[in-house]
Amino acid sequence: MVVIAVDGPSGSGKSSVSKAVAARLGLAYLDTGAMYRAATLWCVDGGTDLADQAAVAYAVRGMPLEMGVDPAAPTVHLGGRDVAAAIRATEVSTAVSQVATNLEVRAELRRRQRAVIEAENAPGGFSGGQGIVAEGRDITTVVAPDADARVLLTASEEARLRRRSLEVHGAADASAVEATRDQVLRRDRDDSTVSQFQVAADGVATVDSSDLDFDQTVDAVLAVVAQVTA
Ligand SMILES: Nc1ncnc2c1ncn2[C@@H]1O[C@H](COP(=O)(O)OP(=O)(O)O)[C@@H](O)[C@H]1O
Ligand SMILES: Nc1ccn([C@H]2C[C@H](O)[C@@H](COP(=O)(O)OP(=O)(O)O)O2)c(=O)n1
């Protein structure tokens, strides 16, 4: 069994690369960012005032969230409803940092994330006890600091804006990149107030994907894993 932790800023490739690494190694995959997005949607749909920290924390503690950890088809369900598309809506992307900077919410989601990781390191989980790749902002440092492999995936601001712009707007011209700026840079600035994901902590390997294509980035992460789990 193996635990692989991947952190990094928005658009660095965490989700897509972690999914590919998990699929290659036969491991489960946990998108912790999707959990913060689901918590945001849960509060917004329930009419909870996002500025009321205690009310948000209370709502999130009662959130009926189910994370599917198959890297080929990861799922997110809230009370049985498939919310995979809804949690990617611009309104959620804009509001998510307000929920993710709530320290009581972080404690609750951290507890749930550790439970998923533990379940995949025991017989009976999706991976049959093989292990998991978990990605987010504080996995290498807080959620799983004792993971077998810890990777900080980075990319230049320019590369991250271009990728997100292509993904969301289907273009990377000047106006599309400008429209993506808030979703990437402002959010990273806000998220940085509660998690340290811009510089690698001690023992965390940095993979800079600025000049790598997708397959090269997957190979670079697999090389780190092979090195530390050899
Ligand atoms: N090394 C890479 N080169 C080019 N595009 C990439 C690379 N890594 C990821 N991408 C693309 O960039 C976009 C953002 O990646 P994603 O995995 O969602 O990042 P994150 O989870 O860090 O926000 C996706 O469309 C993805 O396919
Ligand atoms: N472990 C984590 C994962 C995500 N977050 C926060 C930070 C982000 O703004 C949101 C959404 O994360 P997500 O990974 O979906 O973000 P991207 O859109 O891929 O940049 O959740 C966090 O605070 N801690």
Radius of gyration of the chain (CA): 17
Cα 230 to ligand 2 centre (Å): 30
pLDDT value for 106: 98
Nearest ligand (C-alpha, residue 220): 1
Cα 184 to ligand 1 centre (Å): 12
pLDDT value for 161: 95
Q: Do 75 and 82 form a contact (C-beta atoms < 8 A)?
A: yes
CA 214 from chain center: how many Å? Answer: 17
Tens digits of residue pLDDT in 99-132: 999 999 999 999 999 999 999 999 989 999 999 9
Between 168 and 66, residue with greater pLDDT: 66
Residue ranges and CATH numbers for the domains of the chain are: 2-222 (3.40.50.300)
Task: Confirm or reject: Cβ of 40 under 6 Å from ligand 2.
Answer: no
Q: 170: annotated binding-site residue?
A: no
Tens digits of residue pLDDT in 155-165: 999 999 999 99
**Nearest Cα to 9, choosing from 212, 222, 209?**
209
Task: Confirm or reject: Cβ of 183 under 6 Å from ligand 2.
Answer: no
Q: For a pocket test of ligand 1, which of 92, 191, 214 has the largest count of ligand atoms closer than 8 A to its C-beta?
A: 214
Task: Confirm or reject: Cβ of 29 under 6 Å from ligand 2.
Answer: no
Over 131-182, what HEC string results? EEEEEECCHHHHHCCCCCEEEEEECCHHHHHHHHHHHHHCCCCHHHHHHHHH
Nearest ligand (C-alpha, residue 160): 1
> ipTM value of the model?
0.96
Task: Confirm or reject: Cβ of 127 under 6 Å from ligand 2.
Answer: no
